[in-house]
Structure 1
């Protein structure tokens, strides 16, 4: 086996080894990596930010809970329900919802018994009641907030000890759990109820969604509030907008099946693998090791091939320059001049050997030849010039 064949075989083995390593590491990470069950207000999330604990208690109390992540799935779930009026629709993390997506959601929930916006869902709330404003806020009440309203979901002196949003309502909406006023300024409330109108069910905009998560649901009256808000009907549809839901993200109609959830992570992994392979392959691992060439090419053959290329290109100027540079380099060495000495200095040194100055200048620094015969004469003159110059 030649050296080239061995090098190709070794390179192929390296590529296969890296590919096998990347695939193996990917499999191990896929098996050992924890599942993403800790998204905010995830109904199946058992981490501190999920609401699986509240959902399981609702199921234990006989509420039929169905989880959906697309507007089409929400519409189908309500259409398949024996009685949409006996169904509560809850919207979890709504950050992916756009204005057009929110309009699609409000059309899909037409006829439901109740709508609960666990994170305020500003996009949806703006469609349902533009008079209700949502503001980001966060805190923990030192004395806990009392309801101070007569809504049915806030009996038994329920209190809230943590909140994420504050809502300011005008018009016919009812506000509960008001925040303390400062300097006569209304800072809003933590729960706003919008009555039924124009086919939109009774809507609860919740500003204390974080209090219903697994981490805080057992504090204050959070669990009782969550059960009463979400468990008013025998059926609960929990909708969490997903990035693959085209109608939620951009309001477009779904024209085909959504892309699988693993597609983008897979493409990212493949891109990182290719980048890693390129970086590793581009590095020199260890010192350079000389290897014999598979074919020995004589210097005369290389020179002859270059001359043929110049002749085919009719590049007499480049050919003359190559001949003159070679002669200048050898004359500098022979005359013991600096390697960067100018052509004029070389001409002067050559003239000191008895060669006419003009003849030396014409040969070493004259105009390029315009014919093949002139180029041949130049090569002859340069060779004669070198023969006449003796080393010092």
Structure 2
């Protein structure tokens, strides 16, 4: 069966759904971008004024003479306080090297704790944070040389680990003694390197394959082998083509009528007209002694005394045509073929 070329209306009907979805997604992206303003809006970002940002504590540190340096590559930390917001994204060896070169290090909620507690107001219970007093702490519990706030803040050497970052956010900075505790941790030296790990530091992250248990991998391998064996067992062997008689004989007239109905149902009069013209050209070329595919218009004009322009328009015109014009075209092509045969 000859394929029917889609017209513009059918193309629009098929494409308007995806186009509408694309417009909605684009509009939503524009609205979100306008609402968020600049890209400075992440959690614990010292440039962010959002509740989860840390612009307030950064401003307090700068007011007290501490230079805050936001970076994603803490290559120069000598003599500075290093604040790592996501230590689990950094390779442990690189983190140990940075901590060894920094004058002081503050790690926020690394996954090396021994338990968890709910965030809440706690008393320091240690000389390290006695001046800060009660503060909002919690999250992860750690082991360390000096333990404060029920071991949710510990210090070993020059490395301080805190299990909850609420004291550094704009939302909770003015609660309890959060501001005093944040300033005492991050303002230990005149320079603070606020380290947000970059993509290059994320080698510690595991791939999807690393997270899949070994038993699942073995099971998937067995299923794959079974699928291949089943396919080989059920696959048909290629051999000589065996001709088979059709169970039903379809008359040529019925085939033509069925195809005509399909063309009419799909409003493909233009395509049907092109099929008629192509069939006429294919029949006329051998009658005129021309090779297949060559335009017979000039030879037909010479034999029938018709103008070559009218013959070419009849055989090649691709203009729009309706059902009535299709019937007229069939009659004209039939008359032209009869003239060539008699000539």
Q: TM-score with structure 2 length normalisation?
A: 0.52
Equivalent position of 2:200 in the other structure: 246
Instruction: Say yes or no: does 1:135 pair with 2:115.
Output: yes
Q: Secondary structure at the match of 2:100?
A: coil
Equivalent position of 1:207 in the other structure: 163
Deviation digits for residues 287-344 of structure 1 (CA, Å, limit 9, x no counterpart)? xxxxxxxxxxxxxxxxxxxxxxxxx97322xx2x2259xxxxxxxxxxxxxxxxxxxx
Q: Distance in 1 between matches of 2:142 and 2:95?
A: 21
1:51 Cα deviation from its structure 2 partner? 2.0
Asked if the contact 2:119–2:164 (Cα under 8 Å) also holds between the matched residues in 1, the reply is no
Counterparts in 2 of 1:148 and 1:102: CA distance versus 1, 3 Å: same
Q: Distance in 2 between matches of 1:239 and 1:57?
A: 18
Equivalent of residue 29 in structure 1, options 5, 28, 31? 31
Equivalent of residue 52 in structure 1, options 52, 55, 76? 55
Equivalent position of 1:322 in the other structure: 248
Counterparts in 2 of 1:146 and 1:21: CA distance versus 1, 3 Å: closer
Counterparts in 2 of 1:23 and 1:207: CA distance versus 1, 3 Å: closer
Instruction: Say yes or no: does 1:163 pair with 2:165.
Output: no
Instruction: Say yes or no: does 1:148 pair with 2:126.
Output: yes
What root-mean-square deviation, in Å, do the aligned CA atoms of Structure 1 and Structure 2 show? 3.5
Deviation digits for residues 133-169 of structure 1 (CA, Å, limit 9, x no counterpart)? 442221323xx413332x3xx3436222442222233
1:58 Cα deviation from its structure 2 partner? 0.6
Deviation digits for residues 43-69 of structure 1 (CA, Å, limit 9, x no counterpart)? 333222222211111112221111122
Asked if the contact 1:192–1:205 (Cα under 8 Å) also holds between the matched residues in 2, the reply is yes
Equivalent position of 2:66 in the other structure: 63
Q: Distance in 1 between matches of 2:17 and 2:176?
A: 60
1:114 Cα deviation from its structure 2 partner? 0.4
1:215 Cα deviation from its structure 2 partner? 1.7
Give the aligned length: 212
Asked if the contact 1:40–1:93 (Cα under 8 Å) also holds between the matched residues in 2, the reply is no
Q: Secondary structure at the match of 2:184?
A: helix
Equivalent position of 1:272 in the other structure: none
Counterparts in 2 of 1:88 and 1:15: CA distance versus 1, 3 Å: same
1:193 Cα deviation from its structure 2 partner? 1.1
Gaps of 5+ in 1: 79-83, 124-132, 180-188, 196-201, 253-311, 325-392
Counterparts in 2 of 1:164 and 1:42: CA distance versus 1, 3 Å: farther
Counterparts in 2 of 1:191 and 1:23: CA distance versus 1, 3 Å: closer
Equivalent position of 1:113 in the other structure: 103
Q: Secondary structure at the match of 1:232?
A: coil
Asked if the contact 1:137–1:166 (Cα under 8 Å) also holds between the matched residues in 2, the reply is yes
Q: Secondary structure at the match of 1:146?
A: coil
Q: Secondary structure at the match of 1:110?
A: helix
Counterparts in 2 of 1:221 and 1:6: CA distance versus 1, 3 Å: closer
1:26 Cα deviation from its structure 2 partner? 5.5
Q: Distance in 1 between matches of 2:12 and 2:120?
A: 64
Q: Distance in 1 between matches of 2:26 and 2:163?
A: 46
Ranked by relative contact order (alpha carbons within 8 Å, sequence separation 6 or more), the top structure is 1
Equivalent position of 2:226 in the other structure: none
Q: Distance in 2 between matches of 1:239 and 1:205?
A: 15
Q: Distance in 1 between matches of 2:167 and 2:53?
A: 11
- Within-5 A mapping of 1:363-382: none
Asked if the contact 1:42–1:92 (Cα under 8 Å) also holds between the matched residues in 2, the reply is no
Q: Secondary structure at the match of 2:152?
A: strand
Q: Secondary structure at the match of 2:36?
A: coil
Instruction: Say yes or no: does 1:92 pair with 2:85.
Output: yes
Equivalent of residue 122 in structure 1, options 103, 108, 111? 111
Q: Distance in 1 between matches of 2:21 and 2:205?
A: 41
Instruction: Say yes or no: does 1:190 pair with 2:142.
Output: no
